[in-house]
Structure 1
Amino acid sequence: MHYLYIGLGGFLGAIVRFTLGQALSKRSKGTFPTGTLIINLTGAFLLGLFLGTPAFAHIFGNGLLLAITTGFLGAYTTFSTFSYEVVRLAEDGEIVNALTYLTGTLILGLLFALAGHALSGMLMQLTR
């Protein structure tokens, strides 16, 4: 049954990523991959939030938590697209954008995951 939850979550996550990525790319100017950056940062934050405390497993149950984290967020975020975009920017001679995107995604991704984790802990404290 867990595979079904993960598959359904992944299906939805991929659709949301595609839809949001398209909408963000229409709004951004230039070649900087703003859409992928925003998607990956919000995904890191949400994963930190949902996995930051065992309370979410009790609230949602293991099946739904797997659907959200492994399924939805696994398909929503995209390391492969991020990697390709860094290579593409570098190949196009946009070294500053490539390095900014690379380091920004890594550093901000960790900070967003940490912020989600911290918020999860605060929410846990409020519910006690």
Structure 2
Amino acid sequence: MYYVWVALFGVLGALCRYLTGVWIVSPGFPMATLIINIVGCFLLAIVMKYLAELPYISKTIITALGTGFVGSFTTFSTFSVESIELIEKHWYGTAALYIGASLIGGLLSSRFGFYVSEQWLNRRRNRHAH
């Protein structure tokens, strides 16, 4: 059953990635991939920190969400190819901006996801304590 969940979430993640790429068009700068990867970092942090703490969500679903949905939504390979394409066009400043924004944005987004998760978990704990 685990593989079915991974496949189902994988299809949903890939579809969301495709639709986001169609929706966000920015010639000359890979904005869609940047946004997708930053949002994916945030979502994975929420899945791994917040959802993993909820007793009614199985570990199978947590792993399937992280691997299936977020894994197919985000794309390191596209980031890498787009970075090389920018460099080959001699758009060094744009490439540096893209690579730096992807790295720093991804890390900050993950950190923010952990922070939000902690806030939500603390609220749940306080609500159940009273």
Normalising by structure 1, what TM-score? Answer: 0.91
Consecutive unaligned residues of structure 1, counting only runs of 5 or more, are none
- For residue 17 of structure 2, what is the aligned residue in structure 1? 17
Give the AA of the match of 1:15.
L
- For residue 64 of structure 2, what is the aligned residue in structure 1? 67
1:65 to partner: Cα distance: 1.7
Conserved 8 A contact 1:12-1:72? yes
- Aligned-pair identity in percent equals 37
- For residue 36 of structure 1, what is the aligned residue in structure 2? 33
CA RMSD, 1 decimal? 1.1
1:13 to partner: Cα distance: 0.5
1:50 to partner: Cα distance: 1.4
Normalising by structure 2, what TM-score? Answer: 0.90
1:67 to partner: Cα distance: 2.6
The CA distance in 2 between the partners of 1:119 and 1:50, in whole Å, is 11
Q: Residue 100 in 1 paired to residue 91 in 2?
A: no
Instruction: For residues 43-94 of structure 1, give each alpha carbon's deviation from its aligned partner in whole angstroms, at most 9, with x where no partner exists.
Output: 00011111124314x2422232223211000000000000000000000111
Instruction: For residues 26-54 of structure 1, give each alpha carbon's deviation from its aligned partner in whole angstroms, at most 9, with x where no partner exists.
Output: xx2x3100000000000000111111243
Where do 4+ consecutive residues of structure 1 move more than 4 Å?
A: none
Alignment length (residue pairs): 124
Structure whose alpha-carbon radius of gyration is higher = 2
Consecutive unaligned residues of structure 2, counting only runs of 5 or more, are 126-130
Conserved 8 A contact 1:49-1:118? no
Conserved 8 A contact 1:5-1:66? no
Give the AA of the match of 1:5.
W
The CA distance in 2 between the partners of 1:88 and 1:59, in whole Å, is 45
- For residue 128 of structure 2, what is the aligned residue in structure 1? none
Give the AA of the match of 1:55.
E
